[in-house]
Amino acid sequence: MPQLSSSPDLSAAAAARAPQMSNDENRSGGPSAPNTSVITKVKPKTKRPNLYRVLILNDDYTPMEFVVHVLEKFFQKDAEAATKIMLHVHHHGIGECGVFTYEIAETKVTQVMDFARKHQHPLQCVMEKK
């Protein structure tokens, strides 16, 4: 009976006849392994919205009482805070009414300007990025 030797020629021949796995099969654990995937939760990074300062500008014609009324009506300031802001506007030419997101600041500026025009005052209200 002939003896089988383990020669390099036989091992190479056996390897050549063995079924070859594709790269996809190697990664997934073989042809019978189920396809699996890993699901990772990604926490969304929310960015804070830009803030805008709403400012009232001084003029020589708008009455101080009207400015106080505007601050109370549109910026929910009490009489003392509204008077303090009005005096700051009177002495420094400009005063901050509040800090808001873009849409709210834009709305407040429009409301103040429309209200001032309706009452025939040249009061100016602007917004600037903080």
Q: What are the pLDDT digits (tens) for 27-44? A: 555 556 568 888 888 888
Confidence at residue 31, expressed as pLDDT on a 0 to 100 scale: 58
What pLDDT was estimated at residue 66? 98
Residue 103 is inside which H or E element, if any?
Answer: helix 102-118
Position 18 scores a pLDDT of: 54
Instruction: Give 120's pLDDT tier (boundaries 50, 70, 90).
Output: very high
Check: CB of residue 90 under 8 Å from CB of residue 60: no
Strand order in the sheet with 94-101: 94-101, 51-57, 124-129
| Structure confidence at residue 70 as a pLDDT band (50, 70, 90) | very high
Q: What pLDDT was estimated at residue 36? A: 83
Q: Say which range, 3-7, 31-35, 121-125, has the weakest mean pLDDT.
A: 3-7
The pTM of the full predicted model, rounded to 2 decimals, is: 0.67
